[in-house]
Amino acid sequence: MVKRKTKFVCQECGYESPKWMGKCPGCGTWNKMVEEVEVTGGARKGAFAHSQGGAFISKPAPITTIETVNEPRIQTDLKELNRVLGGGVVKGSLVLIGGDPGIGKSTLLLQVSSQLANKGHQVLYISGEESLRQTKLRAERLSISSDNLLVYAETNLEEINRTIDGVKPAFIIIDSIQTMFHPDVTSAPGSVSQVRECTAELMRIGKTKGIAIFIVGHVTKEGSIAGPRLLEHMVDTVLYFEGERHHTYRILRAVKNRFGSTNEMGIFEMKEFGLEEVENPSEIFLEERSQGAAGSTVVASMEGTRPVLVEIQALIAPTSFGNPRRMATGIDYNRVPLLMAVLEKRVGMLLANQDAYVKVAGGVKLDEPAIDLAIAVSIASSFRDQPTRPTDCVIGEVGLTGEVRRVSRIEQRVQEAAKLGFERVILPVNNLGGWKGPKGVELIGVSSVSEALKAALGR
Ligand code: TYD
Ligand code: MG
């Protein structure tokens, strides 16, 4: 007899309860319990018990006896993707790619599939969202054809598992995890339990058979991957594919990576016939800069291992009534009032009755302290209505006493500025240490914010 039972599952930690609760007893978060219907009777229960433990039978062993092998990596033709993955795709790894609908996840993965197929690897592209014909149409648009690329429209994971045993692919794409279901789990596709169990099953398949699996995950309105947070803990790598729908640039960012750094970002452009890599991101971020405007400063910021030049804009305007407003886009909001307080106290600028808007142009997010000085210079430049020089680049962390502190990887940053034709770099004096810098670039070492303002704005 088939029985229906309602239960509530926490989207953060997967805690299950027979009744709804505002606060999850498992992890303490609020309002994360969602209702799920479980149908029992027809289906076997607990079939997943094997999937978590069984795959990794292991005995304790002295650490000295364990052999290390360098994780073999397979390169795709997209250098940006290889870098974000930490140097290529690791065999047997599970990679989750999240992003808004229509941002280009399927396009990216189909392109990658064909590149891998052209290198002689067997690739199985499983689509639960589009028919085979739709996938073929996309492939034609991208001029893709390879006999090693198998497309497969299926959502039943048991069937998929059987097909994998027959096909023996080296790579699998699951587009998307929210459409997959396992017949042993009775809740609907896309529900917390289905997403969790399907991912566990895919992990088991990938790890035991040495197959690299890419999973597409949809993003909820709040911007996290739909389904339990657990999903992100289970997989090896979590990538987000971001960008504005109305812009053609797309940013691929690692937020978790067991095989590499999480600061890396890859930049692509969505063209008419597929995604193309952007080799020099600094150029696109500076493309629309209006030269000689007040409140605009360029900083060389590190995105992972790569320096990127970005424009920081500030607009300071008198508060018309009430409390002054402070707004920040692309940087930590708290840096703005902090740097304004430093300018007020250490430089004597009267900013208390001014609204301040600070923005990183081009839609990037920066979160390293080396951008402090550029923010401060932008604010001062807008406040005094005095433009900065278009060929200046400003780098440095600012301390609470108004001192400018040393930053990491200064040589790479300066090199990038030199490459794009910047003539002067204002940087922490402690970073200089007898270093002259590349030819054609004047390095100006400063030890305080007021020295930096003197160098950048002339007073
Ligand atoms: P898609 O890969 O389907 O997005 P997702 O899988 O993340 O939902 O991307 C669809 C969008 O990309 C759609 O608006 C059309 C556009 N597009 C191009 O501009 N050029 C192309 O070559 C392709 C295939 C799609
Ligand atoms: Mg898609």
pLDDT at position 51 over 60: no
Ligand 1 mean position, distance from CA 194 (Å): 27
In a domain, 433, yes or no: yes
In a domain, 166, yes or no: yes
For 202-221, write each residue's pLDDT tens digit.
Answer: 999 999 999 999 999 987 66
Mean pLDDT of 7-28: 85
234 with 354, same domain: the answer is no
Q: What does pLDDT average to over the chain?
A: 87
For residue 218, give its domain range.
70-279
Report the pLDDT value the prediction gives residue 66, as an integer from 0 to 100: 80
Instruction: For ligand 2, an ion, list residues with CB under 5 A.
Output: 106
> Rounded to 5 degrees, what angle do the CA atoms 14, 18, 21 make?
70
Specify the range with the lowest mean pLDDT, choosing from 186-190, 350-354, 453-457: 186-190
Residue nearest to atom 11 of ligand 1 (CA): 102
* Cβ atoms of 65 and 185 closer than 8 Å: no
Report the pLDDT value the prediction gives residue 48, as an integer from 0 to 100: 42
Into how many domains does the chain fold? 3
Residue type, 42: G
pLDDT at position 52 over 60: no
Cis ω for the linkage preceding 176 (within 30 of 0): yes
103, 107, 179, 246, best to mutate for ligand 1 pocket (most atoms within 8 Å of CB):
107
Mean pLDDT of 285-293: 82
187 with 317, same domain: the answer is no
Residue type, 265: M
Residue nearest to atom 12 of ligand 1 (CA): 104
CATH code of the domain in which 399 resides: 3.30.230.10
Query: Of 244, 279, 314, which marks where a domain is finished?
Result: 279
Q: To the nearest whole percent, how much of the chain has pLDDT over 90?
A: 57
> How far apart, in whole angstroms, are the C-alpha atoms of residue 419 and residue 283?
10
Report the pLDDT value the prediction gives residue 1, as an integer from 0 to 100: 56
382 with 270, same domain: the answer is no
Own/partner pairs for 268-275, CB < 8 Å, 24+ apart?
Answer: 268/78, 268/80, 268/104, 268/108, 270/104, 270/107, 270/243, 273/141, 273/142, 273/143, 274/107, 274/111, 274/141, 274/142, 275/78, 275/104, 275/107, 275/108, 275/111, 275/250
270, 271, 272, 273, best to mutate for ligand 1 pocket (most atoms within 8 Å of CB):
270
In a domain, 305, yes or no: yes
Mean pLDDT of 11-20: 84
Mean pLDDT of 131-140: 93
202 with 289, same domain: the answer is no
Residue nearest to atom 2 of ligand 1 (CA): 104
In a domain, 81, yes or no: yes
> How far apart, in whole angstroms, are the C-alpha atoms of residue 448 and residue 401?
9
Ligand 1 mean position, distance from CA 104 (Å): 5
Q: Is the CB of 143 under 6 A from ligand 1?
A: no
Q: Is the CB of 141 under 6 A from ligand 1?
A: yes
In a domain, 59, yes or no: no
Atom of ligand 1 nearest to the CA of 245: 14
Report field, pTM of the whole predicted structure over 0.85: no
For 216-262, write each residue's pLDDT tens digit.
Answer: 998 766 666 666 567 888 899 999 998 777 778 888 988 899 988 87
Q: Is the CB of 246 under 6 A from ligand 1?
A: no
pLDDT greater at residue 325 or residue 226? 325
Report the pLDDT value the prediction gives residue 53, as an integer from 0 to 100: 40
Ligand 1 mean position, distance from CA 169 (Å): 25
Residue nearest to atom 13 of ligand 1 (CA): 102
Q: To the nearest whole percent, how much of the chain has pLDDT over 70?
A: 92
Ligand 1 mean position, distance from CA 307 (Å): 29
362 dihedral zone (left: phi>0; alpha: psi -120 to 50; beta): left
362 with 347, same domain: the answer is yes
* Cβ atoms of 262 and 250 closer than 8 Å: no
Three-state DSSP at 452 gives helix
In a domain, 266, yes or no: yes
Report the pLDDT value the prediction gives residue 45, as an integer from 0 to 100: 42
pLDDT greater at residue 366 or residue 297? 297
249 with 101, same domain: the answer is yes
pLDDT at position 313 over 60: yes
Query: Of 223, 253, 279, which marks where a domain is finished?
Result: 279
For 72-102, write each residue's pLDDT tens digit.
Answer: 789 999 999 999 999 999 999 999 999 888 8
Atom of ligand 1 nearest to the CA of 105: 7
For 109-120, write each residue's pLDDT tens digit.
Answer: 999 999 999 999
In a domain, 82, yes or no: yes
Report the pLDDT value the prediction gives residue 59, as an integer from 0 to 100: 81
Report the pLDDT value the prediction gives residue 219, as an integer from 0 to 100: 78
Q: 30: burial class by Cβ within 10 Å (0-12, 13-18, 19+)?
A: exposed
118 with 171, same domain: the answer is yes
Atom of ligand 1 nearest to the CA of 109: 2
CATH code of the domain in which 205 resides: 3.40.50.300
pLDDT greater at residue 296 or residue 54? 296
Report the pLDDT value the prediction gives residue 311, as an integer from 0 to 100: 93
